[in-house]
Structure 1
Amino acid sequence: MMTQEPLPAIYPRPYTPNHRLSVGVPQFSNVFAEQIKHDKLPRPTYDRTKRIRFLPPFLALILRSTYFLVALCIVLVIPVLQLVFGIVYRDQCPINVYIPIYLIVTGACGIAAIGLTIVIVIAFVCCIKQDSIAGSCISGCVIGAVVFFIFIMSFFLFGWFIAGNVWVFGAKTTVNFEKENSPYYCHKTLYEFAFWIIIVTYILMVVSCCVSCCRACFQSLTTLKA
């Protein structure tokens, strides 16, 4: 009769914190590496559109608009006419020689302001399309410098506009359009153009103030309803 040998005693394997089960379960690191290798994981997308944080959203929207450039080109007609009328009739207003000079300076500053605004729009568009931080910083510096220059020039234009009011409206009661040899003579086209340009400027100022007030009221009502 054969006797069975006793089986060796099986002791449980001691548990250690660094012990990991590897039988039948793939290692997480290997799966992760395999998925990256085959491009199965979603990759973060990089938005190339650069946004200027220091500009209000509505201003950024205006600067990116093509219609804004078209409007600037249309408005450019007014300072060009001022410059042309002032140069053509420069010596034909002895009642006040500063009236044609007023038109010349106003027209030149208006052309410069609109031209600088176009530079701002171009720099803004370039800043959006830049893929580098250096390009965006350069475009931002150009925008800041041009805005500062326009801001300084606006103070001069404000004072120059007041002076133009004094010169044009001060000659309203004594101006003569018929006698060219009279010391009170001024060319009719020159004087009426300067006069109505000032009137139109006042009208635009009132309209812009009304639009701004209506916009502020609309935003306040929208905020209260929300």
Structure 2
Amino acid sequence: MSTNGTQLPSHNQTLVVDLTPNGSTSSIAVSDADYLGDPPGYEDIVPPEVPPPPYESLTGRVREVHKASNGTFDFIKNVVSVLWETLGSTVILGITIIVPICMLGFGLVFMRQCPKSKYIPVFLLVGGGLGIIKQLLHLSIRVRRRIEDRELEKLRQAPTHTIINCFLSSWFVIGSYFVYGVYEPNYDPASKDNYCNKTLYLFSFWLLTSIYVVLGIATIIFVGMAIVGTIIGFFSMLCGTKESE
């Protein structure tokens, strides 16, 4: 009898084992009844209808991408996509949590300190509050262990996220009008109606400006990757046509 390439003693065979320090040997009788069999496999323990555990590590995802990629260029493109989803999403998640909290705080602290544009604190309050609610909804999805539960919760929250995203997009445009429309206010409290707290205004101004900059950079990167992908696909098609001829 053998298992996993190892010869096991059959019934009535004698196994000789060195049991003493001086090199002497002893004989132990081993029968088939002592052999308990191979350890159970994954299929024997887990029911077939239960999906296998997810392998979400960065290394595992890169290996899967390598197996599924068609050529070097496709592999590089897919790896970049994986890195962006993994590292980029972590950075973005941190920013999207910190920024709404700061917006809410600035709106509360400087509520009545911008007569020049009294809606700037309101813009920060509403935007920050909805941003926090949005992140809490995301967090309620991420804390769920099973992938099926996450997907189900995403479907449940989809209408709410759509409404919040549409409102925040519109609110972003309205906030741009509130902030850029009064550029640049007087930072001297003695100016009364033309006054706006410098910290409040500069925070709002650079917050909006940085978002516009990030959107512009993301658009350029997206368009550039689309152009490069099109060029690579075109040359790959040409090479394939030449090889077929």
Question: What value does the CA root-mean-square deviation take over the aligned residues?
Answer: 3.6
Q: Is the 8 A contact 1:120 1:146 kept in 2?
A: no
CA drift at 1:92 = 0.7
Structure 2 portions without partners, runs of 5+: 1-36, 56-64, 66-77, 238-245
| SS of residue paired to 1:199 | helix
- 1:126 correspondence with 2:130: no
After superposition, the Cα gap between the structure-2 partners of 1:162 and 1:61, relative to the gap in structure 1 and judged at 3 Å, is: same
1:184-217 CA deviation, whole Å, 9 max, x = no partner? 1111110111111111111011111112222323
Considering Cα pairs closer than 8 Å and 6+ residues apart, tell me whether 1 or 2 has the greater RCO: 1
Higher helix content, 1 or 2: 2
Structure 2 partner of 1:196: 206
Percent identity, please. 25
How far apart, in 1, do the equivalents of 2:232 and 2:165 lie? 33
Say which one has the larger Rg: 1
After superposition, the Cα gap between the structure-2 partners of 1:179 and 1:63, relative to the gap in structure 1 and judged at 3 Å, is: closer
- Pick the aligned partner of 2:120 from 87, 99, 108: 99
The one-letter code of the counterpart of 1:126 is R
Structure 2 partner of 1:48: 52
After superposition, the Cα gap between the structure-2 partners of 1:167 and 1:189, relative to the gap in structure 1 and judged at 3 Å, is: same
Structure 1 portions without partners, runs of 5+: 1-37, 52-56, 128-135
- Pick the aligned partner of 1:219 from 214, 226, 229: 229
Structure 1 partner of 2:176: 165
CA drift at 1:97 = 1.4
TM-score, normalised relative to structure 2 = 0.58
Q: How does 1:7-22 map to 2 (within 5 A)?
A: none
How far apart, in 1, do the equivalents of 2:112 and 2:210 lie? 25
TM-score, normalised relative to structure 1 = 0.63
- Pick the aligned partner of 2:137 from 116, 124, 144: 116
Q: Is the 8 A contact 1:62 1:68 kept in 2?
A: no
How far apart, in 1, do the equivalents of 2:95 and 2:203 lie? 18
CA drift at 1:164 = 0.9
How far apart, in 1, do the equivalents of 2:106 and 2:152 lie? 36
- 1:144 correspondence with 2:155: yes
CA drift at 1:85 = 0.8
How far apart, in 2, do the equivalents of 1:62 and 1:139 lie? 22
How far apart, in 2, do the equivalents of 1:217 and 1:151 lie? 30
CA drift at 1:177 = 0.8
How many residue pairs match? The answer is 173
1:170-193 CA deviation, whole Å, 9 max, x = no partner? 2115x2211346111111110111
How far apart, in 1, do the equivalents of 2:136 and 2:209 lie? 24
After superposition, the Cα gap between the structure-2 partners of 1:116 and 1:71, relative to the gap in structure 1 and judged at 3 Å, is: same
How far apart, in 2, do the equivalents of 1:119 and 1:159 lie? 25
After superposition, the Cα gap between the structure-2 partners of 1:99 and 1:207, relative to the gap in structure 1 and judged at 3 Å, is: same
CA drift at 1:74 = 3.7
Higher strand content, 1 or 2: 2
CA drift at 1:43 = 9.2
After superposition, the Cα gap between the structure-2 partners of 1:104 and 1:197, relative to the gap in structure 1 and judged at 3 Å, is: same
Q: Is the 8 A contact 2:127 2:168 kept in 1?
A: yes
| SS of residue paired to 1:76 | helix
